[in-house]
Structure 1
């Protein structure tokens, strides 16, 4: 027998005694329940106490369900919200405030004002009279500005002929009270709202009403926290050490793990109806993930707002891409959603997205759908997806104003064009989202307001944040629920999750604009009343359940966390009376044991992979050879496994762009002026400056910062012309630039491109422009063979000399290797042949780069240097 059974038996005995003459037929009464979960245990109690072969059960309903059995027309909330938004916008009272959230909060207050009427009007005329009576009563009273604003707006909104949901609910209750002809039995754990109390009072005028208040049936529990003026040592505290325990966690992760561990223990003990009453939804998310990892599915009675679900994320990505003119990151985020283009074959869709990403990164286009379409002109696989994006973007043209319903219709059509609706239809949450969008569109067809795209997007975001999705596909003995849903319910075990002072009592919804002072002025329920109701619900839960674990975080982000004041008092009372502070004593040991059983992965070792001979590349670029010398494993990852990072789309000018432009400028200049000797220096500088402006023109259009790079280059022009003049004076003549080479060595081809080749009679000089300092380049050449670039260039062109040309900080210097270049070139070529031969023979490629190489190596996460034994 669970702890709740005696209470249900008492209720059943009372009902059966009062209805003894009608037995076994109880259809002549109505039982009002706090929730339908209570119907089964109450029916079982009635059967148990009646002791008859058959019993015709009474009508058992919730008040809301009972009222819904009567029809009533009313304005949808979405349309009502739009009307109030337009009213606020026209009055310009709140400046740049978020009017959508303000309107939403005002509607909540309006409904509470409607429910606070002193009478229960049953029709439009009676309602108008009640509103007028309330207005006349308040008109001359002293109200603060915010309260008067709310009251005046409410009065103005009620002047319309159409009823809203709150008024329709009120009228339904009035009709139920007028039709009262059956005894009514009511189960409750906390105070009624003013509307519910008026309904019971009017019902009691025509039929008998009996209330079973758990606070009166179990005074030991309910009296503990009701009167806080009574000294603690005078209270009669029931022993609840066998039913209630507290776990104080040191972190969110520990709290979620402890609660998960306790649920698993209960399941192992055979408990089959376990409730997790989640006060802290962040901890609840983590706990759900841990339970699913342990293969324990969880039913969720509370649900999650659509704004937190992945099905809504695709809408946000779509809007963000639109508003950013398809900024490349936003576009790729959208295209990588599993919901877009769901009507295409999966392989075709992934291939198109991959091709587009490669194109964007290769050509560096930052944004602009039309630019992307032009870029993909020769990529047939991309034509259809990009054309669909253009068609969908036209449907949601941002420059116009239109009604909420029209925006929704355009959105739904754009989802169809993009195949997102197909993807959403394959997901239960997606189906509910589509139904919600279509429902709002139908409700708002008559809305005459006109809204910009940004206004409508804020409206939609708020709607998604208020609509709840509940997954009905999971049927589990473990369930998430909330405190109000536990009224008159008993479980095999309960976890009260996240019971710190910030979450219990929780703050009532809607408090950003109008505080308790405003609510008190309007005679509306305050946060104190809301908290008192939670206190009663908490005590009722503890009275009806004999296995409860309370969890909370005593340390939160380095600060001390406080337990809920209600539970703190209960714990202190129990400690004073019985010397037991109710601390959970076993979970810490279980968590420690779980930590100790974690699998220890073998520590990483320095990798030195070998490669099958057929996988060894036939050709190597100069940069590949440099990579091999710097670190063989880097060469393996980059040039054999091809794990190179994707190039990022550049949004600003980098030094690499500057270096490329300098190379281009000098190539064009020397093609026009192979020799500068014989020309006027000023003329050469003007020509070089003009060519520079032509080469930098695209960067100047793209980014204002390019002017700084161009000025930096202009600073070096006199020094370059002076160096070139000296170079020519030594007999060297410009021969060619940007020359490709592809030399066949023994077992490998060497590929590359030299910046410039100068000749002097039969001599050749290979030059490589560098926008680096002279000292940095000398450091490169300090150890022979460490940098293979110049040596390989010299070998490829059979040049006797090779050098870097340092162009930096207004200086131009020639940096030459100290070693004999032909010999160094020959040695580098022989080393490449030997190394490639050993690789083909199965030699390992160890990760042996020095720290200076590893610091900027993108393969460090692959070789895992720093984790080696």
Structure 2
């Protein structure tokens, strides 16, 4: 501890320091001061102060007895023998959530138990802290007064559920026994003349602890209290205004590094925002900084929790293919080659729901490699997923999840990992813990109550959300360079510097919202923390932090959504006092010379093109490099299995509907409009089910369908009146062209009145865009290419624009034969040049680059401007 540090004076001042005041209190309370400090307990506001207080006492009071430095929770834990009852509050979310549901059922709220259980646990745990602070003999009278308080303020009919939860929470807290009840027995024994404490000293933090105050009152003259927060001069304060979260995280990490380099250690990093703090820690880890994380993070955000929740999501009866693939890719028991083949097959087939997938028969496809392994993997996955399908009691669910994790190889990833061990303990997944858990559940309804998978998953999720994981520190105590902790726990600790990120109006609110459903009147009557008390605690913590010798305060101007943010009112007060954000950036900026890349111009004569489609040749015409990357190299983006239904999905759906409708109409001709409407609606329903389109996600297009249908049927009547007739739909055709084979699937082939072939390609785009396609005949590839697939010398081709607003319009390409001949000559010329090693440059022009899958390869954004 630095000689001039304010915390040094707080603890070690010979007259007014905490050590001197504790020693004076012991001398005042004990009959034999030289012999009985060990019969003194000093209660601290939080556990991290215990080793510091013990060390400072030994430095000042060398060779003498030392009192016990404890927190109320640690003191109660040291008194063995407490076992909670079946319905007691345990402050363990995995157990309390079950008890809450039972109590709600007893109160006649079984139908709402899933929605209310979390609120009940929160309310009951808040009241439990108050009930535990009342001596057991005085508890009945306190509960009687509390019942009247809880019954008031929530009596409106609209608040009936809130009122019921509050009443159940009070009765639950009142009926529970607590480990801290032993503390009242300890202080009462001394008051009665038995073996107990000689002195109790309470060191108060920013907020008074009800239990510590109650124990002090129980001890009478043998107890005293003193406040830890002290007034001292402010240290050196630097204000940093950042643009956004990333800028703030970088600046905060740089501030920490500057303090470490200057020897100002340990540095306190206040955890005001979980995401921001983890980002800063990641940056510090890359620099090899020794970090002690006292704040930790929610267990549900760890990789261990992702393994368990991923496995449970994959077991749902309606699990998506992505959910199953995510589980398989993180399960070591499954060979990755078959898993990758499975992913490729699912994406090629567009199977979104796992239950819709069935592996192809390897005997029917002997030429395709890997089908046997794919089939075996599918069968094994389905077998494992079936093990967690049926309803069962909770302990059997734990056994089944344990078996699934072992079969998938994920158990070994959890066991031995710090977060994994914490998860196994919280969920009672190890056999030994399952036995103890089963025994504790035996007196309750949960010993036999059957849960389905959704209920079990919700229980697991709630338990992981409520649990906290604090990583262990590998260095020796005192060797850490950075300590991550809540701002309130900087109190009375000798940090050389503190970095406070997240000091904006949202994350450092000057008047925090009190937790729980209680009204202001109820909070005051029950002695729950009020908004005013919380605001005073925040201000007290803020004043204390600013007394650190070096303090960096950071905030951002905008949030992730782009919404502007103001500094916290506490920071605004500093700005009004005359402090200004520093102009010095704590980051080290390096000058890096620009090294633009040249435009790529590959040559690929060794990659001959043997099969050519219209879209492939369109790529060549728009950008030769895209043709090289996507067609010759065969690179392809992985398609998403899940996503919102978009315009492309509607186009595919419409193609399939019109194909089904016209084939049915050709087989059973119908000429009256109602019959045709019924046939096309049946086709639409059939295709919707075949494509597994949900009603909710397809609703916008389904709403437009009647207009689309009516407009198309009106056009069809006029089309047939001209003498045209439908022949085929979705026709796959191949046409040899020298060393090439032209391939393509034509939406529709009709015969016109003169028996000439009429090629039709459906479009659901804007009509103006369709007309632009044929405005310059030689610029249009698609219709000319489809014409090249036909052996006929006389033919017609048109785009059919099926508008969502009800109008269907044919846009014909009148010079399709001439354009086809020019296109064929161009294809032969271009393919010959590729075989002769002509360059395939990246053009980087026009709209072709806006949505190009090869843009990351051509590096257009890094080209040399010259």
Q: Normalized against structure 1, the TM-score is what?
A: 0.76
Quote the Cα distance in structure 2 between the aligned partners of 1:560 and 1:647. Answer: 37
Partner of 1:497: 501
Cα displacement (A) at 1:130 = 2.5
Quote the Cα distance in structure 2 between the aligned partners of 1:814 and 1:550. Answer: 65
Partner of 1:301: 294
Q: Is the 8 A contact 1:723 1:813 kept in 2?
A: no
Partner of 1:8: 11
Cα displacement (A) at 1:434 = 2.1
**Cα pair distance change 1:377/1:479, threshold 3 Å:** farther
Quote the Cα distance in structure 1 between the aligned partners of 2:310 and 2:612. Answer: 42
**Cα pair distance change 1:849/1:250, threshold 3 Å:** closer
Listed one character per residue, the Cα deviations across residues 329-361 of structure 1 (whole Å, up to 9, x for unaligned) are: xx314422587422234x33xx41x33333333
Quote the Cα distance in structure 2 between the aligned partners of 1:508 and 1:816. Answer: 68
Partner of 1:658: 654
- 2:101 pairs with one of 68, 85, 89: 85
**Is 1:635 aligned to residue 627 of structure 2?**
yes
The aligned runs of 1:611-690 (5 Å cut-off) are 611-647=603-639, 654-659=650-655, 662=658
- 2:836 pairs with one of 831, 838, 841: 841
Q: Which moved more, 1:314-323 or 1:356-365?
A: 314-323
- 2:278 pairs with one of 280, 285, 295: 285
Quote the Cα distance in structure 1 between the aligned partners of 2:58 and 2:143. Answer: 51
Partner of 1:362: 348
Q: Is the 8 A contact 1:768 1:804 kept in 2?
A: yes
Partner of 1:157: 172
The aligned runs of 1:167-316 (5 Å cut-off) are 167=181, 179-184=195-200, 187-190=203-206, 192-203=208-219, 208-209=222-223, 211=225, 213-214=227-228, 218=230, 221=231, 239-240=233-234, 242-249=235-242, 251-296=244-289, 298-316=291-309
**Cα pair distance change 1:93/1:247, threshold 3 Å:** same
Partner of 1:132: 140
- 1:561 pairs with one of 541, 566, 569: 566
Q: Normalized against structure 2, the TM-score is what?
A: 0.76
**Cα pair distance change 1:779/1:187, threshold 3 Å:** closer
Quote the Cα distance in structure 2 between the aligned partners of 1:654 and 1:724. Answer: 29
**Cα pair distance change 1:806/1:795, threshold 3 Å:** closer
Q: Is the 8 A contact 2:798 2:810 kept in 1?
A: yes
**Is 1:465 aligned to residue 465 of structure 2?**
yes
Q: Is the 8 A contact 2:796 2:816 kept in 1?
A: no
Partner of 1:578: none
- 1:448 pairs with one of 441, 445, 449: 445
Quote the Cα distance in structure 2 between the aligned partners of 1:288 and 1:6. Answer: 31
Cα displacement (A) at 1:793 = 6.0
Quote the Cα distance in structure 2 between the aligned partners of 1:391 and 1:209. Answer: 65
Q: Is the 8 A contact 1:604 1:864 kept in 2?
A: yes
Q: Is the 8 A contact 2:245 2:556 kept in 1?
A: yes
Partner of 1:429: 419
Q: Which moved more, 1:522-531 or 1:703-712?
A: 703-712
Q: Is the 8 A contact 2:735 2:790 kept in 1?
A: no
Cα displacement (A) at 1:744 = 5.3
Cα displacement (A) at 1:301 = 0.2
Quote the Cα distance in structure 1 between the aligned partners of 2:565 and 2:768. Answer: 56
For residue 490 of structure 1, give the secondary structure of its aligned residue in structure 2. coil
Q: Which moved more, 1:174-183 or 1:628-637?
A: 174-183
Quote the Cα distance in structure 1 between the aligned partners of 2:314 and 2:612. Answer: 41
**Cα pair distance change 1:422/1:611, threshold 3 Å:** farther
**Is 1:66 aligned to residue 75 of structure 2?**
yes
Q: Is the 8 A contact 1:70 1:172 kept in 2?
A: no
**Cα pair distance change 1:173/1:324, threshold 3 Å:** farther
- 2:686 pairs with one of 686, 695, 698: 698
Structure 1, gaps ≥5 residues long: 121-126, 222-237, 576-580, 674-680, 728-733
The aligned runs of 1:403-552 (5 Å cut-off) are 404-425=394-415, 427-438=417-428, 442=438, 443-444=440-441, 446-449=443-446, 450=449, 454-473=454-473, 475=475, 476-500=480-504, 502-504=506-508, 511-541=515-545, 545-552=548-555
Q: Is the 8 A contact 1:376 1:382 kept in 2?
A: no
Cα displacement (A) at 1:463 = 2.5
**Cα pair distance change 1:209/1:435, threshold 3 Å:** same
**Cα pair distance change 1:722/1:263, threshold 3 Å:** same
Listed one character per residue, the Cα deviations across residues 232-289 of structure 1 (whole Å, up to 9, x for unaligned) are: xxxxxx653x444444556544443333222111111112311112234344234334
Q: Is the 8 A contact 1:277 1:495 kept in 2?
A: yes
**Is 1:336 aligned to residue 340 of structure 2?**
no
**Cα pair distance change 1:99/1:174, threshold 3 Å:** farther
- Say which one has the larger Rg: 1
**Cα pair distance change 1:116/1:517, threshold 3 Å:** farther
Cα displacement (A) at 1:799 = 3.7
Quote the Cα distance in structure 2 between the aligned partners of 1:802 and 1:249. Answer: 66
Partner of 1:103: 120
Q: Is the 8 A contact 1:630 1:849 kept in 2?
A: no
Quote the Cα distance in structure 2 between the aligned partners of 1:558 and 1:700. Answer: 40
**Cα pair distance change 1:88/1:377, threshold 3 Å:** farther
Quote the Cα distance in structure 2 between the aligned partners of 1:108 and 1:735. Answer: 70
For residue 768 of structure 1, give the secondary structure of its aligned residue in structure 2. strand
Q: Which moved more, 1:247-256 or 1:80-89?
A: 247-256
**Cα pair distance change 1:820/1:173, threshold 3 Å:** same
Cα displacement (A) at 1:665 = 6.7
For residue 249 of structure 2, give the secondary structure of its aligned residue in structure 1. helix
Q: Is the 8 A contact 2:762 2:800 kept in 1?
A: yes
RMSD over equivalenced CA pairs, Å: 4.9
Cα displacement (A) at 1:437 = 0.7
For residue 584 of structure 2, give the secondary structure of its aligned residue in structure 1. helix
**Cα pair distance change 1:437/1:649, threshold 3 Å:** closer
**Would you say how many aligned residue pairs link Structure 1 and Structure 2?**
791
Cα displacement (A) at 1:834 = 3.1
Q: Is the 8 A contact 1:273 1:492 kept in 2?
A: yes
For residue 98 of structure 2, give the secondary structure of its aligned residue in structure 1. helix
**Cα pair distance change 1:656/1:338, threshold 3 Å:** closer
Q: Is the 8 A contact 2:724 2:751 kept in 1?
A: no
Cα displacement (A) at 1:203 = 3.9
